[in-house]
C-alpha cells in the first residue's frame, strides 16, 4: 500500500485509513484536502451509511507534519503568524465537513493520538480504542496552545477541569483512563479492535440512517441552545422523522413482532 491516505468503500461503509506509519501518521495539507473532499462527497451520497476513520502503525495520528514546523521556524514573525493561522483554518474546514456528515462516524484508535488528532477523535460519533492506545494534548510541551477543536469538544465531553489539566500538562492518558472519563466510548483488547469496529459499522449501516442524521444534529450544538430551543428541536425532528419510510417500517415491525429492515429512507 503506497498511498499514505487510503480512502475505500465496502458496500455502505466508507473508510479512511491513515497509512504513513513511518512518520507517525503526521497530517499534511494533502490529507486535509482529500479528507474534506471525501466528507463533502459522502454527505450527499445516501448509499454511504457508516464511516470509519482508522490508522496503521504505532500511532493513530501524531499531529502536524514536522516538515511544516521546520519550514516556519525560520520565517519572519508576520509570515509565521499567517502560515500557522492558515494551517489551523485548513484543519477547521476539514473538521466542519466531518461534522456535517449525517452518517455515524466511528474512530478506530490504535497507538498514540497526539495533538490536534485528539480533537479529531473527539469529533467522531463513536470511539473504540485498543488497550495500548493513549492520548496526549502535547502542544504545551512545545510551547504552543491547543487547536484541532480540542477546546470545543473536550470540556463538553469530559468536563472543563479534566480537559484543562490535560491541556496544561500534556499528560499521556491511557485507554483505560480515557474510557473512564468519557474521552472514548469503549476500550477493547488490541487484537479485537478491527473486529469490534467492523461489527459496529455494519450494525450502523443496517440502521435508520436518516434518523441518525437527525439525532447527530440534535446533539451537536445542544450546549449552545436554550432548553426551550432544544426541546422544540426534539419535537420538530420527531415529527420530521415520522414521515420517513424507516419510521413506518419500525412501527410496523413492532406490531408484527419482527426485526425492522431499515433502508435509510
Note the pLDDT tens digit of each residue in 213-250. Answer: 999 999 999 999 999 999 999 999 999 999 999 999 88
**pLDDT value of position 2:** 55
C-alpha cell at 233: 428541536
pLDDT in tens, 25-84: 998 889 999 999 999 999 999 999 999 999 999 999 997 777 777 777 889 989 989 988
H helix intervals, 7-100: 29-44, 66-73, 77-99
Q: Which residues of 28-63 are buried (b: 16+ CB within 10 A; e: fewer)?
A: beebbebbbebbeebbeeeebbbbbbbbbbebbbbb
Q: State the residue for C-alpha cell 493561522.
A: 85
CA–CA separation, 79 and 157 (whole Å) = 35
- pLDDT band for position 264 (cuts 50, 70, 90): confident
d(CA 47, CA 57): 30
The string of pLDDT tens digits covering residues 110-149 is 999 999 999 999 999 999 999 999 999 999 988 889 999 9
Angle between the 209-220 and 227-241 helix axes, to the nearest 10 degrees?
170
pLDDT at 51: 99
For residue range 159-171, list pLDDT tens digits in order: 999 999 999 999 9
Helix/strand/coil for 138: helix
Reading the block at residue 192, the C-alpha cell is: 479485537
pLDDT higher than threshold 50 for residue 1: no
Amino acid at each position: 500500500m503506497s498511498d499514505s491516505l487510503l480512502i475505500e468503500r465496502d458496500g455502505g461503509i466508507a473508510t479512511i485509513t491513515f497509512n504513513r506509519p513511518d512518520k507517525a501518521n503526521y497530517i499534511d495539507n494533502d490529507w486535509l484536502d482529500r479528507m474534506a473532499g471525501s466528507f463533502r462527497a459522502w454527505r450527499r451520497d445516501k448509499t454511504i451509511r457508516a464511516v470509519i476513520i482508522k490508522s496503521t502503525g504505532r500511532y493513530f495520528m501524531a499531529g502536524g507534519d514536522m516538515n511544516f514546523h521546520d519550514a516556519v521556524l525560520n520565517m519572519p514573525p508576520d509570515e509565521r503568524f499567517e502560515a500557522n493561522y492558515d494551517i489551523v483554518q485548513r484543519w477547521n474546514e476539514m473538521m466542519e465537513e466531518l461534522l456535517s456528515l449525517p452518517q455515524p462516524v466511528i474512530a478506530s484508535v490504535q497507538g498514540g493520538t497526539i495533538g490536534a488528532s485528539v480533537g479529531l477523535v473527539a469529533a467522531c460519533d463513536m470511539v473504540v480504542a485498543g488497550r495500548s492506545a493513549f492520548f496526549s494534548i502535547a502542544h504545551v510541551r512545545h510551547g504552543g496552545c491547543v487547536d484541532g477543536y480540542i477546546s470545543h469538544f473536550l470540556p463538553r465531553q469530559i468536563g472543563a477541569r479534566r480537559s484543562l489539566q490535560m491541556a496544561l500538562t500534556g499528560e499521556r492518558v491511557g485507554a483505560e483512563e480515557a474510557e473512564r472519563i468519557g474521552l472514548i466510548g469503549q476500550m477493547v483488547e488490541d487484537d479485537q479492535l478491527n473486529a469490534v469496529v467492523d461489527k459496529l459499522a455494519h450494525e450502523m449501516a443496517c440502521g435508520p440512517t436518516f434518523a441518525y442524521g437527525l439525532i447527530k444534529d440534535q446533539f451537536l450544538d445542544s450546549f449552545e441552545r436554550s432548553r426551550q430551543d432544544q426541546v422544540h428541536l426534539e419535537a420538530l425532528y420527531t415529527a420530521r422523522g415520522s414521515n420517513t419510510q424507516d419510521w413506518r417500517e419500525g412501527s410496523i415491525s413492532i406490531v408484527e413482532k419482527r426485526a425492522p429492515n431499515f433502508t435509510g429512507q
